[in-house]
A and B are shown apart, each in its own frame.
Chain A
C-alpha cells in the first residue's frame, strides 16, 4: 500500500524525463547505500510487520480456519444477495466520493498553489483547519446543517423553495456529502504538492508559444499534476471504503456500508469468522481495484507522466 501511494514520486526508468523532471527529483535517493537504506527503513518495516501484517494474517486465518479449513463464511457472502449488495454500495459510494473530491478539490489546490499570496493563504487555512478538526465534530456539523429544522431546511423554507422540511439526513446522499467533506484534504494536499512542483516557467512558455489559458491548463498544468490527482484519488477511495464513523452518524438504515456491517457482525453477533471474511474480501477487492486503476492510468497515453 505504501508503495502504491508513493508511486508517483518514484523515479521511473520508462519515462524519459524532460530536464525539469530529473532536476525536481534530485539525486538524494541514490546517495544512500543499500545497507544504510535498509537500516533507516528497518524500524518502519518492523512496525509494519508487527502492527499490520501479523494482524492481517491472523484475520485471514480466522476467516478460513474454524479450526479446520472451512469456507462457509465466504460462501455466505456470495450466497446471500444482501452482502454483495452492501459491498457494491460501498464501492459505489467510495467511487462517488473520490470523483466528487477531485471535482471540488482541484480548484482549491489550484488556489493554494496560485501566485496570489492572499488567495493561497486563505485556501490553505481552509484546508488545514478542516484537516485539524476532529472527524466527529465535522460529521455532527452536518447533522446540525441537514436535520429537519436545520440550517439548510430553514433557509430553503424562508426562500420559499419548499413548503415542508425535506429529508436531507440519514440517507446515502448525506453519507457521500459528509464523507467527501472529511476526505477532501486528502485529495487537495497531494494535488497541491504536484502543482507546486511544476516549474513556474512552463505556463508562461506555453502562453508565449500561442496557447490560450485553457489550452495551457489542459496541456501543461493538468497532465503534470496527474500524479497528485492519482495519489489523492487512491487515498480518498481507500479511506472511503473503510469509513465507519461518518456513515454511522449521518447514514440511514438503507445506506449501510461494509465497515458498519463488519462492526455489527463482530460486536453484536460475535461472529468473528464472518467479520474476518468480510474484512478479507474488502481488503482483496481494494487491492485488486487499486492495481487495475494503476495499470489503466499508466497505460493510457495522455497519462504518461503517471508512473
Chain B
C-alpha cells in the first residue's frame, strides 16, 4: 500500500513537472493505457491533431483501474492535473464514473446530425474510442484440423483436449458469462448472470485451466509455449500472436464486445483543448480507420469502417458475420462488488 502510494506520489510529481515545463505552449493531458494502443492513437490521432491545431498532446500511462482511482482522487481533492482519460465502456456506465467525469451531453449535441455515428458514440459519460472483443482463441495446429467455435466447445475436453486459459483481472463477468453460454443459456437471457450456475460450470473445467492470466502479455506467452491451446483472450492480442507467425485462430461466435471511451475529467485544466481533441476524433474517420487497421478494433464511424482494408474489416469485432454478445453494463456495475467477492472466494 505504502509502496503504491509512494509511486503514485512520484508519478504525480513527474506529471506536475511536465506541466510546468510546457505551460507556455497550448496543451492537453491524456491518460492512456500506454503500449501499442497509445502508439496507434498517437500516430493516427494525437500527432495529426497537434499538426493542425498547435495543441500539444501530453500522455500519462496508467492501467484502467489506476486511472479510475486517480481520477476520483483528483476530483475529490480538487487537484486535477489530467484532462482526458480512457475508461472501459462498462465502467463509464457506472454512477461512480459520473462523480469524476464531466457530463458531455451538451458537447454531444453537435454530433446529433451525423449519420455515420451511432447515437451512443457520444454520451454524457464520454466519447467512444473503439470497440474491442474478448473471445475464444486457439492454436489451430492442436486439434488435427477441427476448430472450436462456441464456448461449449471450450468446455469440451474430449473433442478439444489440452490446457485452457481464462482471464483473472478483477473483472470476472466475462468468464462467468462464457460459462453460462457454454451451459446452454441463450445470449438474450444471459443477464442478470446466474452466478451460482456459472461457478458450478466453471468447476467442471477448472482442472484443465493451466493459467488464469492477469495481463495481456501473460495471455500471449501461454499460447507461445503451449501451456494451453484454447484461451479466452483479447482479439488485439490474438491478432498480435498471428502476426508473430503462430498458428492462432479465433471464433467470433464466442466473443464479447466491449468498448473504450475517453472521458473528460471534472475541472480539467485544459477543458477547451480536450473538447477539441475529442471532437477531432469523432470528426475524422481517417484517424479512426488508421487506429483500427493497426489494432483490429471497430471504429465508431461507419465511414471509418469503409476506409479500412478488407482484411481488417473481416477481423474486426462485431463485423458482419459476428454475433458478439454485448454485456449489460448496468447490471455489471450494480453488482461489481458482489461479482468480485464471489469470484475471489471461488478462485482461491
Contacts and interface: CB of A to CB of B under 8 A. Distances in A.
Interface of A: 55, 80-82, 85-86, 147-149, 167, 170, 242, 244-245, 248, 252-254, 256, 259, 261-264, 266-271, 279
Contacts of B53: none
- A261, A262, A264, A268: most-surrounded residue (chain B CB, <10 A): A268
Given A254-B348, A269-B336, A264 B170 contact: yes
A266 B5 CA distance: 11
Contacts of A279: 1
Interface in B292-348: 336-337, 340-341, 344-345, 347-348
B115 interface: no
27 contacts: A81-B345, A82-B344, A86-B344, A147-B221, A148-B225, A148-B226, A149-B225, A167-B210, A242-B3, A244-B4, A252-B212, A253-B168, A254-B348, A263-B1, A264-B340, A264-B344, A266-B69, A267-B65, A267-B69, A268-B65, A268-B68, A268-B170, A268-B171, A268-B336, A269-B336, A269-B340, A270-B69
Interface residues of B, number: 32
A271 B340 CA distance: 12
A254 B69 CA distance: 25
A-B pairs with lowest CB-CB distance, top 3: A267-B65, A267-B69, A253-B212
A170 to B, nearest CB: 7
Nearest to A275: B1
B242 interface: no
A269 B337 contact: yes
A82 B69 contact: no
B39 interface: no
Given A267-B66, A268-B170, 9 more contacts: A82-B348, A85-B348, A170-B211, A244-B3, A244-B4, A253-B168, A268-B65, A270-B69, A270-B72
B96 interface: yes
B197 interface: no
Interface in B200-237: 210-212, 214, 221-222, 225-227
Interface of B: 1-5, 63, 65-66, 68-69, 72, 96, 168, 170-171, 210-212, 214, 221-222, 225-227, 336-337, 340-341, 344-345, 347-348
Nearest to B70: A267
A243 to B, nearest CB: 9
A253 B68 CA distance: 23
Nearest to B94: A270
A252 B347 CA distance: 10
Q: Residue among A85, A148, A271 with the most chain B CB within 10 A?
A: A148
A80 B72 CA distance: 27
Contact of B68 (A254, A256, A259, A270): A270
Contacts of A269: 336-337, 340
Contacts of B171: 268
A268 B210 contact: no
Contacts of B63: 267
B79 to A, nearest CB: 15
Nearest to A52: B2
B348 A263 contact: no
Contacts of A245: 3
B345 A82 contact: yes
A52 to B, nearest CB: 9
Nearest to B63: A267
Most buried by B among A55, A85, A267: A267
Nearest to B66: A267
A270 B336 CA distance: 11
Contacts of A262: 1
Contacts of A253: 168, 212, 347-348
A267 B68 contact: yes
Contacts of B214: 248
A167 B3 CA distance: 30
Contacts of A242: 1-3
Nearest to A56: B2
Given A244-B3, A253-B212, A147 B225 contact: yes
A307 B310 CA distance: 76
Nearest to A149: B225
